[in-house]
Amino acid sequence: MRKIIALQDLDCADCAAKMENAINKIDGVLSASVNFMTQKIILDIKDDNATDTLKQIKSVCKKIEPDCILKI
């Protein structure tokens, strides 16, 4: 399943890279890229447990950049 998540207040490019790495390590994520310029996460995730995967993505991002809001 392809999904695009818009981000708000993603301020640092370095954090974007860290988020991308962390999201890619989550089970259920086939591929993810965090685009700092367009403030988006482009995701390809497995269809099973998609809500669970999204929850994990949210918490991972929160850990790295607490100010950044994911608009799922």
Partner 1 sequence: MSKNKKALIRIIVSLCVVIVTVVLKYTISESISWFKWLELGLSLAAYFTVGYDVLWKAITNIVRGKIFDEHFLMTIATIGAFAIGEYVDATAVMLLYQIGELFQRYAVGKSRKSIAELMDIRPEEATVIRDDLEIKVHPSEIEIGETILIKAGEKIPLDGEIIKGECSLDTSAMTGESLPRKASIGQTVVSGCLNLDGTIFIKTTSTYDDSTVAKVLDLVENATSKKSPAENFITKFSRYYTPIVVALAVILAVVPPMFEGISVGTVWLKWMRRAMMFLFVSCPCALVISIPLGFFGGIACASKNGILVKGSNYLELLAKSKIIAFDKTGTLTKGNFAVTQVVPENKREEILSLAALAEQYSNHPIAISICRERKADMSAQVQEIAGHGVKAVVNGSVILCGNDKLMNDYDIEFSPISDGTVVYVAQDGRFVGSIQISDQIKEDSHEAIAELKKAGVTTVMLTGDNNITAQEIAVKLNVDKYYSELLPQDKVTKLNELKQNEKVAFVGDGINDAPVLATADVGIAMGAMGSDVAIEAADIVLMQDNPASVPLAKRIAKSTLKIVTENIVLSIAIKFAVLILSAIGLLDKIAFGMIIAILADVGVCVIAILNSMRTMFIKKRK
| Residues near partner 1, by CB under 8 A | 9, 11-14, 17, 33, 35-40, 42, 63, 66-67
Q: How far is the CB of 67 from partner 1 (least distance, A)?
A: 7
Choice between 18 and 28, CB closer to partner 1: 18
Q: Which CB atom, from 28 or from 35, has the smaller least distance to partner 1?
A: 35
What is the edge-to-edge ordering of all strands in the sheet holding 40-45? Answer: 29-35, 40-45, 2-8, 69-71
Pairing of strands 2-8, 29-35: unpaired
What is the rounded distance in angstroms from the CA atom of residue 61 to the CA atom of residue 11?
Answer: 13
In angstroms, what is the minimal distance from the CB of 37 to partner 1?
Answer: 5
